[in-house]
Structure 1
Amino acid sequence: MGTRETIRTAVRDVVPPAGLTRALAVQAMVYAVGSGLFHAGSAVFFTRALGLSAAQVGLGLSVAAGVSLLGTVPLGGLTDRYGPQRVWVVGLVLNAALFATYPFVGGFAGFLAVVVALAAVDAAVGVARQVYSINALPPAERVTAMAYQRSSLNVGFGLGAVISGLVLAVDTITAYRGMVWFISTVFLVTALFVRRLPRLPQVARPAEPMSRLAVLRDRPFMAVSVLSGLLTAHGVLYLTVMPLWILTHTDAPKTMIAGLVLLNTILIVLLQVRVSRGADTAAGAARASRRGGLLIALFCLVLPISGVTRGLLTVVVLVAAAMLLILAELIESAGSWGLTATLPPADQRGAYVGALGLGVQVQYLIAPAGLTALGVTTGGWGWLPTAAIFVLVAAAIVPAVAWAQRTPRLGAEAAEPAMTPVP
Structure 2
Amino acid sequence: MGTRDTIRTAVRHVVPPAGLTRALAVQAMVYAVGSGLFQAGSAVFFTRALGLSATQVGLGLSIAAGVSLLGTVPLGGLTDRYGPQRVWLAGLVLDAALFAAYPFVGGFAGFLAVVVTLAAVDAATGVARQVYSINALPPAERVTAMAYQRSSLNVGFGLGAVISGVVLAVDTMAAYRGMVWFIAAVFLVTALFVRRLPRLPEVARPAEPMSRLAVLRDRPFMAVSLLSGLLTAHQTLYLTVLPLWILSHTDAPKTVIAGLVLLNTILIVLLQVRASRGADNTSGAARASRRGALLIAGFCLVLPLSGVTRGGLTVVVLVAAATLLIVAELIESAGTWGLTATLPPAAQRGAYVGAFRLGTQLQYLIAPAGLTALGVATGGWGWYPTAALFVIIGLAVVPVVAWAERTPRLGEAAPEPAVGAATPVS
TM-score, normalised to structure 1, is: 0.98
Aligned AA (2:97): A
C-alpha distance in 1 between matches for 2:117 and 2:366: 23
Report deviation, 1:414.
12
Deviation by residue 1:110-138 (Cα, 9 ceiling, x = unmatched):
10110000000000000000000000000
Counterpart mapping for 1:327-346 below 5 A = 327-346=327-346
The separation in 2 between residues aligned to 1:117 and 1:373, in whole angstroms, is 32
Q: Deviations for 1:266-322, whole angstroms, at most 9, x for unmatched residues?
A: 000000001100000000000000000000000001001000000010000000000
Alignment match, 1:89: 89
Amino acid at match of 2:319: V
1:24 aligns with 2:29: no
Aligned amino acid, residue 401 of structure 1: V
Whole-angstrom CA distance in 1 between matches of 2:134 and 2:93: 22
**Matching residue of 1:374:** 374
> Which amino acid is 2:136 matched to?
A
User: 1:189 — aligned with what?
Assistant: 189
Is the contact between residue 93 and residue 187 of structure 1 (CA under 8 Å) also seen in structure 2?
A: yes
Aligned position for 2:222: 222
| In structure 2, distance between residues paired with 1:364 and 1:324 | 21
1:348–1:412 contact (8 Å) kept in structure 2: no
Which position in structure 1 is the counterpart of 2:418? Answer: none
Q: Counterparts of 1:199 and 1:9 in 2: how far apart (Å)?
A: 32
Match for residue 53 of structure 1? 53
Give the 5 Å matches for 1:239-254: 239-254=239-254
The two structures, once aligned, show a CA RMSD in angstroms of 1.4
Residue deviations 1:39-61 (CA, integer Å, cap 9, x gap)? 00000000000000001000000
**Which residue in 2 is equivalent to 1:261?**
261
CA distance in 2, matches of 1:197, 1:181: 25
Distance in 2, Cα, partners of 1:9 & 1:38? 34
1:33 CA displacement: 0.2
User: Is the contact between residue 408 and residue 414 of structure 2 (CA under 8 Å) also seen in structure 1?
Assistant: no
Q: Distance in 2 between matches of 1:238 and 1:66?
A: 23
**How many angstroms apart in 2 are the aligned matches of 1:19 and 1:413?**
36
Matched residues in 2 for 1:388 and 1:218: separation? Answer: 28
Query: Is 1:347–1:412's contact at 8 Å kept on the other side of the alignment?
Result: no
Structure 1 residues 296-311: aligned runs within 5 Å:
296-311=296-311
**Contact 1:347 1:413 (C-alpha < 8 Å) held by counterparts:** no
Q: Secondary structure at the match of 1:410?
A: coil
The one-character-per-residue Cα deviations of 1:330-351 (angstroms, maximum 9, x if unpaired) are: 0000000000100000000000
Q: What stretches of structure 1 move > 6 A for 4+ residues in a row?
A: 413-417
Offset at residue 411 of structure 1 (A): 1.7
Matched, 1:205 2:202: no
Q: CA shift at 1:4, angstroms?
A: 1.8
Q: When the two structures are aligned, how many residues end up with a matched partner?
A: 418
Q: Do residues 285 (structure 1) and 285 (structure 2) align?
A: yes
- CA drift of 1:412 comes to 3.4
Shift of 1:413: 6.5
Amino acid of the structure 2 residue aligned with 1:321: A
Matches within 5 A, 1:38-49: 38-49=38-49
How many angstroms apart in 2 are the aligned matches of 1:398 and 1:413? Answer: 24
Aligned to 2:180: 180
1:356 aligns to 2:362 (yes or no): no
Q: Is the 8 Å Cα contact of residues 204 and 414 (structure 1) preserved in structure 2?
A: no
1:257 alignment partner AA: I
Which secondary structure state, in structure 2, belongs to the residue aligned with residue 14 of structure 1? coil
Q: Is the 8 A contact 1:32 1:154 kept in 2?
A: yes
Distance (Å, rounded) in 2 between the aligned partners of 1:290 and 1:8:
31
TM-superposed CA distance for 1:2, in Å, is 2.1
1:213-243: per-residue Cα shift (whole Å, max 9, x none)?
Answer: 0000000000000000000000000000000
The one-letter code sitting in structure 1 at the alignment partner of 2:126 is G
Q: What CA distance in whole angstroms lies between the structure 2 residues aligned with 1:218 and 1:204?
A: 21
Cα deviation digits, residues 179-231 of structure 1 (max 9, x gap): 00000000011011100100000101100000000000000000000000000
Residues 33, 160 of structure 2: 8 Å contact kept: yes
The percentage of counterpart residues that share the same residue type is 87
- CA–CA distance in structure 2, aligned partners of residues 59 and 202 of structure 1: 41
Structure 1 CA distance, aligned partners of 2:414 and 2:274?
Answer: 32
Give the conservation status (yes or no) of the 8 Å contact 1:33–1:156.
yes
Q: Deviations over 1:67-110 (max 9, x none)?
A: 00000000000000000000000000000001111001101111
Which residue number corresponds to residue 271 of structure 2? 271
Which secondary structure state, in structure 1, belongs to the residue aligned with residue 13 of structure 2?
Answer: helix
Unpaired segments ≥5 residues, structure 1: none
C-alpha contact (below 8 Å) 1:206/1:414 kept by paired residues: no
Q: 1:319 aligned to 2:319?
A: yes
2:162: which partner in 1?
A: 162
Other-structure match for 2:231:
231
Tell me the secondary structure at the aligned position of residue 381 of structure 1. coil
Gapped regions of structure 2 (runs ≥ 5): 416-422
Q: Corresponding residue for 1:67?
A: 67
Counterpart in 2 of 1:2? 2
Give distance in 2, aligned partners of 1:29 and 1:128: 17
Residue 392 of structure 1: how far off its partner (Å): 0.7
Structure 1 residues 278 and 298: alpha-carbon distance in aligned structure 2, compared to 1, 3 A threshold:
same
CA distance in structure 2 between the partners assigned to 1:150 and 1:43 by the alignment: 24
